[in-house]
Structure 1
Amino acid sequence: MSAHQPRLQTIAQLIPPLTYNLHKGDCGRIAAIGGCEEYTGAPYFAASTTLRLGADLAYVVCEKDAASVIKAYSPDLIVNPYLRSTTNTDRSLEEIDEKLKPLLSKMHAVSVGSGLGNDLKIRESAKRAIQHARSLSIPVVLDADSLAIVAESPEIIHGYTNAILTPNAPEFDRLAKSLGVEPKKDEAPEIAAQRVASALDGVTVVRKGKSDIITDGVRLFICDEVGGLRRCGGQGDILSGAIATFLAWGERYKAGAWKHTAEIHENEFPMLAAFAACTITRHASFLAYEEYGRATQSSSVLEQVDIAFDNKFEEILKTVKSPKL
């Protein structure tokens, strides 16, 4: 199976063109599910990335002790302290379900895992969120600690082609081992990634690394956009938010929210969304490193997300027709 890169002109069809006829929510409602007492920055990065790219509403669903901290980071985020933890058991799992279901039903996409942590009760809450998202056919991005949920219970997303996993190298190896498809000696990473995606029956896998390998087991993209040299924590959360944004736009595209000049089949959305997000995140990392060098932090990368988006898509978007809203 040969790898190739999709045309950015094709991906641009998924991006909502801005007009005065748009209403709040037309450009996407997205939830970042994660955040515990120890890790509050991760869901902030994921959710804030969606706003930087142009989504209208960004929600964070987190553990109670993380909520006030995340609210203090930004007034633009809608923070819901619905995840149950070992130290906060004032809500039963059934009560959490009653909170999550109506919230998720409004979303165009969700990301799960940023700052989730190792608390078993938080993970159980997140697992239910994944199940609800799947039952509602909502696209979902799984990163970081949510990958442990998949490793323990792969059936939760097996065969769900609206799911994207974004493991780094160690996370990929653990996931592959849990699925019984450990990388073989001297096996090309592209082949290993394809075998994991195939074992999950069509789920898209983004194996992050020097180049990002994107595959659903059948198709294969390689994103080798130049990135920065810093590997500070949080860049994966930015990627998760970016993927969720393009997935949300795919849902709006599918609903016919705007006119387009090329027809994209919905089974192409996950691969295209992943490639677009990898391209933007890597370019934002490059721009941040060019400015800050060794002092680059993920907050530096977040500052560059909108600039990276403009660099890649601004000229292309001038050819996109106005929406029919």
Structure 2
Amino acid sequence: MDDLKLVLKEREKDSHKGENGTVLVIGGSKDFVGAPALAGLAALRTGIDLVVVAAPYRTAWTINTYSPDLITKKLHGEFFVKAHARQVFDMVPNFDVICIGSGMATRPETESFVREVCSEVVTRPKVIDADAIKALHGMQVANAVFTPHAKEFEIYTGQKLPDKEKEKTDLLKSYASRETVFLLKGPVDLITDGSRVRRNTTGNPGMTVGGTGDVLAGLCAGLLAHNTGDKFHAACAAAFLNGKIGDELYRKMGYGFTAGDMIHEIPASISRCLR
């Protein structure tokens, strides 16, 4: 909860659209349309001003029908290819934070696109999730927050996570740094920047439902857009808030809640945490 208070800044009364955080979500494919929409809406619900989703053409149009609150950039084709990188580079200066990976699917052409974007975009913090983590296997990325689950971490590093938490934490720290924060998702989330380590215990088994990871990535991007200089505290706040929302929904609905339900709960949960 303290991390959330550190990250969220007071909005100026005379501020204008775009001055309270902007996020570019890069994700989606013909088979995974909902994931980037969930990430984008989660980011928006943290209280930032603007989210744009860059997605393959039909995916982007479907996202438009899902929510009028999300603007989309429609990229030619059914999935990301390396040629799309130039269009993304042209967009990046207009945003505070980049969130990449949700619903991208795994194709060689998409992997090339992700590696190109994450190597060239260094001036904006990046939240790297899901298929983008897999695409970056073995590649160091600066100015980033990685949000893997155990299998994604193993694909990225080539190393199996130990069972004991101390050994797991030490391995995680060896890949993290001040510029590269890791948020390892699990029954207990582990967040580290290589020196500081935080355990997050909010959350419950109902959060194994599809889409909760996309919500987490969006929360992290949105909170980071409030204060783009503090990746560690933004990641800690996102993990806490994501689990807290899941716990609140479990009390109301049992294990029948969905990632979409989590989106609607975000503003009220933030308000309760800040009281």
TM-score (norm 1): 0.78
Q: CA deviation at 1:150?
A: 1.6
Q: What's 1:112 paired with?
A: 100
Supply the AA of the counterpart residue of 2:111: R
Supply the AA of the counterpart residue of 2:146: L
Between the aligned partners of 1:298 and 1:188, the Cα distance in structure 2 is 31
Between the aligned partners of 1:239 and 1:52, the Cα distance in structure 2 is 12
Could you list the runs of 5+ residues in structure 2 that have no partner in the other structure?
A: none
Residue 146 (1) aligns with residue 132 (2): yes
Between the aligned partners of 1:174 and 1:99, the Cα distance in structure 2 is 28
Supply the AA of the counterpart residue of 1:270: K
1:176-213 alpha-carbon deviations (Å, 9 max, x no partner):
31xxx544575632223212326xx8511111111110
Q: What's 2:235 paired with?
A: 274
Q: What's 1:190 paired with?
A: 169
User: Following superposition of structure 1 onto structure 2, how do residues 177-256 of structure 1 map, counting pairs within 5 Å?
Assistant: 177=158, 181-184=159-162, 186=164, 188-197=167-176, 202-227=179-204, 229-251=206-228
Q: What's 1:309 paired with?
A: 270
Q: Which residue among 69, 72, 89 is the counterpart of 1:79?
A: 72
**Contact 2:147-2:185 within 8 A present in 1 as well:** yes
Between stretches 185-194 and 281-290, larger displacement belongs to 185-194
**Contact 1:227-1:284 within 8 A present in 2 as well:** no
Aligned alpha-carbon RMSD (Å) = 2.3
Query: What SS does structure 1 have at the residue aligned with 2:176?
Result: helix
Supply the AA of the counterpart residue of 2:170: I
Between the aligned partners of 1:83 and 1:104, the Cα distance in structure 2 is 18
Q: What's 1:175 paired with?
A: 156
Supply the AA of the counterpart residue of 1:107: F
Q: What's 1:16 paired with?
A: 9
Supply the AA of the counterpart residue of 2:155: R
Supply the AA of the counterpart residue of 1:224: T
**Contact 1:85-1:122 within 8 A present in 2 as well:** no
Between the aligned partners of 1:48 and 1:213, the Cα distance in structure 2 is 24
**Contact 1:32-1:43 within 8 A present in 2 as well:** yes
Query: What SS does structure 1 have at the residue aligned with 2:245?
Result: helix
Residue 298 (1) aligns with residue 275 (2): no
Q: What's 1:53 paired with?
A: 46
Q: CA deviation at 1:43?
A: 0.3
Supply the AA of the counterpart residue of 1:16: K
Note closer, same or farther for the CA distance 1:82–1:130 as it changes in structure 2 (3 Å cut).
Answer: farther
**Contact 1:59-1:80 within 8 A present in 2 as well:** yes
1:9-63 alpha-carbon deviations (Å, 9 max, x no partner):
x652432323430100111110111000000110001000111110100010111
Identity %: 24
**Contact 1:211-1:223 within 8 A present in 2 as well:** yes
Between the aligned partners of 2:218 and 2:155, the Cα distance in structure 1 is 23
Q: What's 1:30 paired with?
A: 23
Q: How many residues align?
A: 274
Q: CA deviation at 1:304?
A: 1.1
**Contact 2:249-2:257 within 8 A present in 1 as well:** yes
**Contact 1:214-1:274 within 8 A present in 2 as well:** yes
Note closer, same or farther for the CA distance 1:189–1:36 as it changes in structure 2 (3 Å cut).
Answer: same
Query: What SS does structure 1 have at the residue aligned with 2:242?
Result: helix
Between the aligned partners of 1:118 and 1:299, the Cα distance in structure 2 is 24
Q: What's 1:318 paired with?
A: none
Query: What SS does structure 2 have at the residue aligned with 1:164?
Result: strand
Query: What SS does structure 2 have at the residue aligned with 1:210?
Result: coil
Q: Which residue among 108, 114, 138 is the counterpart of 1:126?
A: 114
Between the aligned partners of 1:29 and 1:305, the Cα distance in structure 2 is 17
Query: What SS does structure 1 have at the residue aligned with 2:187?
Result: coil
Query: What SS does structure 1 have at the residue aligned with 2:136?
Result: helix
Supply the AA of the counterpart residue of 1:40: V
Residue 166 (1) aligns with residue 147 (2): yes
1:274-294 alpha-carbon deviations (Å, 9 max, x no partner):
001111111111122222223
Query: What SS does structure 1 have at the residue aligned with 2:88?
Result: helix
Query: What SS does structure 2 have at the residue aligned with 1:39?
Result: coil
TM-score (norm 2): 0.91
Structure exhibiting the larger radius of gyration computed from Cα positions: 1
Query: What SS does structure 1 have at the residue aligned with 2:121?
Result: helix
Between the aligned partners of 1:247 and 1:83, the Cα distance in structure 2 is 29
